Amino acid sequence: MTDAHGYPRPQLQRRCWTSLNGEWEFALDSDGRWARPGDVVWNATITVPFAPETSASGIGDTGCHRAVWYQRLFDAPTLAPGERLLLHFGAVDYAATVWINGMAAGRHEGGYTPFTLDITAMLSGSGAQRLVVHAEDDPADLAKPRGKQDWQREPHSIWYPRTTGIWQTVWLECVPETAIHTVRWTSSLEAWDLGIEVILDGIARDDLRLEVQLSVGEGRDRKLLADDTYAVIAGEVHRRVALSDPGIDDFRNELLWSPKSPTLIHARLRLCRPQGDVLDEVESYTALRSVGVQGDRFVLNGRPFPLRMVLDQGYWPESGLTAPDDGALRRDVELAKAMGFNGVRKHQKIEDPRYLYWADTLGLVVWEEMPSAYRFTKRSVARLTREWTEVIERDSSHPCIISWVPFNESWGVPDLPNNPAQRDYVQALYYLTKTLDGTRPVIGNDGWESVATDIIGIHDYDPRPERIAARYSTGEGIPQLFTRERPGGRLLTVSGHPHAGQPLMLTEFGGIAFTPSEDRTETWGYSRSDTAETFMTRYAGLLEAVRSLPLLAGFCYTQFADTYQEANGLLYADRTPKFPLEEMRRINARPVGADVTVQERLEAPSCAGLEQENAPVLQSPRPVTANG
């Protein structure tokens, strides 16, 4: 079936699926008193997948609630012999417990990652089935990954309303008794091949084969790249598919993925019995591309690729962390490209897979960053590590993702320079990430206080272009940059972990606020402009300075769109530009640095003090409010 939010798992698609988005019965459990579905007093209706804090949900309650409950009926499909029914949740914040027809179906902890339950044995015939979801999300719990969700009742500083309960698509899927469970892709330009890993679940069989067909293009332009069959050994397939190498760069480049030319390779996978009949069939996609670091440059497909990124927090005024629909996700990708950026840094959010699908399809690179916990405890370490592992498992096959960022600005590790355990934690997450995915750079702690990283990310909100230019002017200034300069009040590297030649990027800067005069009372930014013309002029001056610096391998401007009280977007919260898109594009799309190559030019895009007890101690640059 179709759904306004799109197929929720774009790299493993089946035809038989049913969205459960829409109206559900709902109840707030502010003190977390109810333990079972029979305890609940159902007194409201909510529109899933929007969180109850949002107006799009029909609830619009931004108070502090420890738990919420959902209930709905659904019709179970008629299952063929051996067939199973899976219940999928895109994301439920934070800990979800699920019942089917009064029977406990399962539990999942982690607010940004998906989970699946086999509910076949709990179905009551083929008629109406009762589904109940209990979501626990203590608003005062600072030891869980929460990103920008505020722990105070009223959003303050750089934190925003909470997201409680279901906030991504809920859906049903019919699968055979033995089915394709996961598909993971990797690529190698050196060998000119693709790696595929397929894991099955269900009834174990030792007589199955997997057919893999790869093609590029559509319709009459479709070209077959591979048509292979592999034996399934112990429920798994691990193979590399060699492609025919044309040898000449002009032809090789046609197959490579980049923002300029986002070529995707379509895949059809069939799980077959010995007699040849198809047991399971899924559609997927991948791409040929490589990312990495060479000397002081970031490289894409073996060539220096200056990053022109914008920080994107992924909120919408009426629907919070959940996009209004799939078209809104596509539009955000299109807007970033139309503004002259070639990438986004998704900040403190694990984005909906549909956004990554559109970034893959339209050509936009993505830095993926783990939402922070704000306390350093054994429990917070276990929670974040588990969920970060699930994030990498979910998203590692997306070609648009070019880096992993487990920590931002020492959030959750506030004593990093002086606490050996916290330094070990950051290094452990860096190396765990490299272990789970060795194909991308990892930025261990973006902003400052690096202890293990492939790229030095620097956050510097100095509003004066001449000081930015002087600070990062030449390589001769690097020793002073790392020993004396303190953007954000912090040293860029921790003692004992000096800069070892990694690329330097300005991964947060700018943050200039501009809103119409009547809206300024409750808004802020890192600096402020009073008119649209002044805003554009100041933005152009900062970008001119940053683009001219050969020392930098890229930049990321703060930010894409206004987010609640934070009014420093290039777009208003409704995605209306604050000055013409063509002017943004003209300012942004010039190559970075003085020594750009022809290839780099071709890659240009074509189109606060906390008073609450146990509150985290964060030292983000101090914003400038409407009152200065």
Query: Could you tell me the CATH number of the domain that includes residue 617?
Result: 3.20.20.80
Please identify which residue in the block is written with the tokens 């900062």.
Answer: 542
Residues 6+ away with beta carbon under 8 Å from 525: 511, 512, 513, 514, 566, 567, 568, 623, 624
In this structure, what token pair is assigned to residue 213? 């067909």
Pick left, alpha or beta for residue 109 (phi over 0 → left; psi -120 to 50 → alpha; otherwise beta).
beta
Q: Would the pTM of this model clear 0.95, i.e. be above it?
A: no
* Whether residues 487 and 398 fall in one domain: yes
The span from the CA of 449 to the CA of 555, in Å, is: 18
Q: Is residue 620 predicted with pLDDT exceeding 70?
A: no
Does the residue 299 lie in any domain? no
14 occurs within a structural domain: no
In a domain, residue 297? The reply is no
The phi and psi torsions of 351 (rounded to 5 degrees) equal -75, 155
In this structure, the answer to whether residues 91 and 205 fall within a common structural domain is no
Q: Are residues 163 and 265 in the same domain?
A: no
pLDDT per residue as tens digits for the range 345-400: 999 999 999 999 999 999 999 999 999 999 999 999 999 999 999 999 999 999 99
User: Domain check: are 345 and 396 in the same one?
Assistant: yes
- Among 258, 286, 314, the domain-final residue is 286
In a domain, 114, yes or no: yes
374 and 225 in a common domain: no
Sheet with 193-202: list strands edge to edge: 178-188, 193-202, 236-242
Distance CA 325, CA 195 (A): 33
Quick check: 560 pLDDT over 70? yes
Q: From residue 174, how far is each of 87, 283, 287, 626 by CA, in Å?
A: 9, 15, 28, 54
**pLDDT tens readout for residues 505-555:** 999 999 999 988 656 567 888 899 999 999 999 999 999 999 999 999 999
Q: Which residues does 485 contact at the CB level (< 8 Å), separation at least 6?
A: 471, 492
The reply to whether 36 and 142 lie within a common domain is yes
- Is residue 615 exposed (0-12), middle (13-18) or buried (19+ Cβ within 10 Å)? middle
d(CA 505, CA 553): 5
Q: Which backbone phi and psi does 195 adopt, to 5 degrees?
A: -95, 140
In this prediction, residue 249 has a pLDDT band, given cuts at 50, 70 and 90, of low
- What is the Cα 36 distance to its own chain's centre? 33
Judgement on whether residues 232 and 378 belong to the same structural domain of the protein? no
pLDDT digit string, tens, across residues 94-127: 999 999 999 999 999 999 999 999 999 999 987 8
Q: Is the same domain home to 391 and 409?
A: yes
> Do 432 and 402 sit in the same domain of this protein?
yes
- One-letter amino acid at 50 equals F
CB atoms within 10 A of CB 499: 16
Q: What is the CATH number of the domain that holds 246?
A: 2.60.40.10
**CB 567 within 8 Å of CB 530:** no
Q: Which of 145, 168, 191 is the last residue of a domain?
A: 168
| Domain that includes residue 45, residue range | 22-168
How is residue 483 written in tokens? Answer: 């020993």
User: How far is Cα of residue 429 from the mean position of the Cα atoms in its chain?
Assistant: 17
CB atoms within 10 A of CB 297: 16
Q: What kind and span of H or E run contains 354? A: helix 353-362
Which CATH number characterizes residue 49's domain?
2.60.120.260
Higher per-residue pLDDT: 27 or 596: 27
| Residue 183 backbone phi and psi in degrees, to 5 | -130, 130
Residues 212 and 322 in one domain: no
pLDDT tens-digit map of 469-511 = 999 987 776 888 888 778 878 889 998 898 889 999 999 999 9
Q: What is the dihedral of CA 41, 118, 127, 46, to 10 degrees?
A: 40
Torsion of CA 304, 341, 548, 464, to 10 degrees: -140
DSSP character for 233? B
Residue 592 lies in a domain: yes
593 part of a folded domain? yes
Q: Looking at this protein, which amino acid is placed at residue 548?
A: S
- Domains identified in the chain, total number: 3
pLDDT of residue 609: 29
Let me know if residue 400 belongs to a domain.
yes
| Domain match, 124 and 208 both | no
User: Do 115 and 220 have their domain in common?
Assistant: no
CA 443 to mean position of chain CA atoms:
15
pLDDT at 450 over 80: yes
Domain closes at, from 136, 168, 200: 168
Per-residue model confidence (pLDDT) at position 153: 86
For residues 429 and 348, give the distance between their C-alpha atoms in angstroms, rounded to a whole number.
16
Q: In sequence order, what are the residues at sequence separation of 6 or more whose Cβ sits closer than 8 angstroms to the Cβ of residue 187?
A: 193, 194, 195, 286, 287, 288, 289, 290, 399
In a domain, 17, yes or no: no
Give residue 254's pLDDT band: very low, low, confident or very high (50, 70, 90): confident
DSSP letters for 556-607: EEE-SB-BTTB---SB-TTS-BSS-HHHHHHHHSSPSSSS--HHHHHTS---
- Asked if residue 511 lies in contact with residue 568, where contact means CB atoms within 8 angstroms, the answer is yes
How large is the average pLDDT for residues 59-83? 95
